Amino acid sequence: EDEITVVEREMKEFWTELKSIYGTEQINQTLALRDSCKESIQVLSERWSKKLKEGDLMVDKIQEYRNEILQQNKHISQNQEHLTEIKSNLNHEEERKKELMDNIQELKEELMKKKQIISSKNKATKERVERLCKSKELFEERLGLEIRRIHNEQLQFIFRHIDHKDPDKPYVFTLSINEDGDYEVTSCTPPLDCISEFQLKVRETNNFSAFIANIRKAFTALSYK
């Protein structure tokens, strides 16, 4: 626009000078040429104005695209961070899962061992009870002893012929085998102060016959008091 203004001003100056030199015909020709130039200049001005507006629109569009790209890049960066966090959480969960599976396997192995131990103890307990029952006739014959199997795999020992005043009076104690596989007296009638000592001794020596004999002697001694 500035250049157009300069051209118009120079044309006006040229026209003033021209009128002072040439005649009417030359002036009319010059005027026609001037009008033609002005029309050409107007067409070019409109064309360039349109181009400039299109350029401005294109610049605005490019800026808009740049802003969209920046926003997309921001979203991509955020998604990458979120994806990294998810991968980290997955790895952590995999580690926890593996640790949990290892713990479960250890518990299974420990449970199997405990089952085997319990099974072995139960087998040993049953075998020991069976041996005691096999000795029943010997004890009944020599010590006047009756052995009964009662609930929870316990054995009840009943002595008679101890009190000379009342031979049928029963002297009773109940024996079981605890979780550790040791003999344990669960009841004694009448009570004996030395029963804990006898129980400890049979655990140390595993001499069950001596254990029964000692209890019978203690009952006998008690009957004379």
**Span 150-177, pLDDT tens digits:** 888 899 999 988 988 898 899 999 999 8
More confident residue, 4 or 217: 217
Band the pLDDT of 198: cuts 50, 70, 90: very high
Mean pLDDT of the chain: 84
Distance CA 9, CA 15 (A): 10
Interval 75-117: pLDDT, tens = 888 888 888 888 888 888 888 888 888 889 888 888 888 888 7
Report the pLDDT value the prediction gives residue 218, as an integer from 0 to 100: 95
The whole-number average pLDDT for the span 15-33 is 70
Confidence of residue 73 (pLDDT cuts 50, 70, 90): confident
Q: pTM value?
A: 0.42
Q: How many CA atoms lie within 13 A of 115 on its CB side?
A: 6
List CB contacts of 135: < 8 A, sequence separation 6 or more: 208, 209
